[in-house]
Structure 1
Amino acid sequence: MELVATLVGPDATEAAASRVRSALSGAGLAVKGPNALGPEAFELPLLGDPETARAVAATELDGLAIDVCVQPAAGRRKRLLVADMDSTIINVECLDELADFAGLKAEISAITERAMRGELAFEGALRERVGMLKGLAASALQQAYDQRVRLNPGARTMVRTMAAHGARCALVSGGFTFFTSRVAAAAGFHLDRANTLIEADGALTGAVGEPILGKEAKLAALEQLAAEIEAPLSATLAVGDGANDLAMIQAAGLGVAYRAKPLVAAQAHAKVDHADLTALLYFQGYRADEFVVD
């Protein structure tokens, strides 16, 4: 099988790529020399078994700040991006930040962490946490957005570059529409989907709109959006960090775990622990001079 191994991260140098090439060759794989895609990004075209290539590359790069993606060379550039929001496209968990305004951050963050690790059902955990925010002034949402929410490094470049090259980009979150609408506009997504916080008389009621958008709804969104543009799932890219992202990550043509929980990182096609979100562009074979940068 024609494959490509992409190395991205602070320690990704030509020397490191050459070391991986030697290790892959030693394992019986036919490997060409490294091509530079940009600063701290190299790719190695090769022939062979992808699982063997992944295992060899991971062993050779152990201890280095390098993310690696091994995938079929054909169809690398994806036509659909579906991205999680909290702790993926942005730097925080919005619900936890709202909890801080209510003086409940420690309690609610603990539930969030368990849900993201897959220890709690997402839907029930969301209802419980939102219920704890009953009575919080609705104005806290804008405060949280203004004071706490920032795009993660590379997010805007990733989305804008894919969009400029014809990909459909969707922000699909188990969070809330108040935040996804603003984050989608800031990053350049074409559309956003999320849950709705119910308000009355200027305060949160402690209820969330039903049905709740969780793990299965994210997968359904990936499938529906791919069908709308008549793209096979092999032409899709999904990225996230928590257990409710796992189904869409596994179903996508390229599923990436970004700074993810162990459960997700272990089952994704690739993970990004060291580079910023432009790694997803390099994984698709984009060169740095193709990036859309403000």
Structure 2
Amino acid sequence: MTAAHSHIVTLVASREAGPLTAQDVARAMAYAQGRNLVWLEDGRAAEFQAPAAPDRSALDAVMTHKAVDIFLTRPRGRRKAVLVADMDSTIVTAETLDELAACAGIKDKIAAITARAMNGELDFHEAIRERVGLLKGLPVRALEETWANIAYCPGARALVATMNAFGATTALVSGGFSFFTARVAAELGFAINRANTLLDDGTALTGEVGEPILDKTAKLASLEEFAEARGVKLTACLSVGDGANDLPMLKAAGLGIAYHAKPVVAAEVVNKVVHTDLTALLFAQGYPASAFKGVEP
């Protein structure tokens, strides 16, 4: 890669919206002055070199396929040594605290607070204490009932399995709760999981959260810790999340990707998954589909 072609443009199309065509890619390359096209998956993902980061809106406009996620990366060190992922609405489809609240019949009330907190409108510490406080007295069996209905976001299993297979450190770091992160990590293969702790008296929730609360600062500190443990710089790290408490780690990582993110997050993060799934994070690192592991049927 020469200085004249210092960026990689990766195009990943939504399967549901139809294939990514050679004509679409050709239009994108012509606009971006691209060269050295590589198809990562026929009809779905392609990448090429460009002399500069193209304007995304303009790139969208030249393509007829309107459900394509565009990733801009540097060629050096594209395959990351560390993955730090948020859990709720990133690796699993739901906000687990909201789903737990459904067992208490107050999902709408708690979900409204969650939405505001994840968009950065509320103090995270106050919001989590308020929501957990509303669950005081909820039987602990509700945790198992909630877990039984948790589903994974498309591509989650392949993302973790592939990065594990290629030697990355994989960590699940959540502002949610360890009851869920421990189970998600065990099922998907995350090497590390960290989260907050829901306190109970053996029978019911006490309405309290264990201290200290894992927040955006702790997420960033975890990213830095894992990079140091691997002996790599933050540029060798990938982070993914959707909420305001993920922003510091998304902005610090060499590749930070906002996943179907809240508006405040999407506005500040360059690389975003809007139309596709978590396998887009693998394509953005240059992995071809043929290298994917743990692909869901």
What is the aligned partner in structure 1 of residue 28 from structure 2? 20
What is the aligned partner in structure 2 of residue 9 from structure 1? 13
Given the alignment, which residue of 88, 91, 98 partners 1:89? 91
Whether the 8 Å contact between 1:238 and 1:248 is mirrored in structure 2 is yes
How many equivalent pairs are there?
286
What is the aligned partner in structure 1 of residue 41 from structure 2? 38
1:215-248 per-residue CA deviation (whole Å, 9 max, x = no partner) reads 1110010001110111100000000000000000
Distance, in Å, in 2 between the alignment partners of 1:95 and 1:16 is 42
Distance, in Å, in 1 between the alignment partners of 2:283 and 2:25 is 14
Distance, in Å, in 2 between the alignment partners of 1:87 and 1:271 is 14
Pair 1:230–1:138, CA change in 2 (3 A): same
1:48-94 per-residue CA deviation (whole Å, 9 max, x = no partner) reads 2x2x4545424435971000001111111100000000000001000
What is the aligned partner in structure 2 of residue 277 from structure 1? 278
Using the TM superposition, give the Cα deviation of residue 262 of structure 1 relative to its aligned residue in structure 2, in angstroms: 1.1
* Structure 1, gaps ≥5 residues long: 26-30
Distance, in Å, in 2 between the alignment partners of 1:12 and 1:127 is 46
Distance, in Å, in 2 between the alignment partners of 1:177 and 1:13 is 43
Q: Give, as a single letter, the amino acid of the residue that structure 1 aligns with 2:170.
A: C
Secondary structure of 1:34's aligned partner? strand
Whether the 8 Å contact between 1:195 and 1:208 is mirrored in structure 2 is yes
Distance, in Å, in 1 between the alignment partners of 2:140 and 2:91 is 23
Pair 1:292–1:263, CA change in 2 (3 A): same
Given the alignment, which residue of 49, 59, 65 partners 2:67? 65
Distance, in Å, in 2 between the alignment partners of 1:228 and 1:116 is 29
Whether the 8 Å contact between 2:260 and 2:274 is mirrored in structure 1 is yes
What is the aligned partner in structure 2 of residue 226 from structure 1? 227
Using the TM superposition, give the Cα deviation of residue 210 of structure 1 relative to its aligned residue in structure 2, in angstroms: 0.5
Whether the 8 Å contact between 2:60 and 2:66 is mirrored in structure 1 is no
Using the TM superposition, give the Cα deviation of residue 105 of structure 1 relative to its aligned residue in structure 2, in angstroms: 0.5
- For 1:1-294, what aligned pairs fall within 5 Å after superposition? 1=3, 2-10=6-14, 11-25=19-33, 31-39=34-42, 40-48=44-52, 50=53, 52-54=54-56, 56-61=58-63, 64-146=66-148, 148-293=149-294
Using the TM superposition, give the Cα deviation of residue 12 of structure 1 relative to its aligned residue in structure 2, in angstroms: 2.7
Secondary structure of 2:50's aligned partner? strand
Distance, in Å, in 2 between the alignment partners of 1:154 and 1:284 is 15
Distance, in Å, in 1 between the alignment partners of 2:49 and 2:55 is 11
* Structure 2, gaps ≥5 residues long: none
Identity, % of aligned pairs? 50
Distance, in Å, in 1 between the alignment partners of 2:262 and 2:209 is 25
Q: Name segments (4+ residues, structure 1) moved above 6 Å.
A: none
TM, length-normalised to structure 1 = 0.94
Pair 1:12–1:121, CA change in 2 (3 A): farther
Whether the 8 Å contact between 2:118 and 2:245 is mirrored in structure 1 is yes
Pair 1:280–1:136, CA change in 2 (3 A): same
Whether the 8 Å contact between 2:24 and 2:64 is mirrored in structure 1 is no
